[in-house]
Amino acid sequence: MLFVKRAQIQEYALYTVRITSGYRCPHINAMTPGAAAQSRHMYGDAMDLTPPLDRWSPPSEAEFDRLHDAAAQTSPSYITDWTTYSDHHLHVDYR
């Protein structure tokens, strides 16, 4: 399901979207800094996303805003703002 959602997000964003985290087993989730104890990643219905990386510069605010807007069009149950996490990614889940 997540790959279908990623494809839809890419279609709306008009660029390739990177999944930086998808399914995590409970053991890996427990070792992931900042992960929620009952993370949706452990259920296989959450993913963390970033715009494509450019080796010369990090993604811009506009690219992250576009990614957020694109993800919002796929009817997620929960979506974060890209500034929520220090490593700047968007968390999207489909409970």
Q: What residues pair up with 90 in beta bridges, in sequence order?
A: 49
pLDDT digits over 46-95, tens only?
999 999 887 788 888 999 999 999 999 999 999 998 888 888 899 999 99
Domains of the chain: 2-93 (3.30.1380.10)
Is the pTM above the cut of 0.85?
A: yes
Closest by CA position to 93, among listed 37, 55, 47, 28: 47
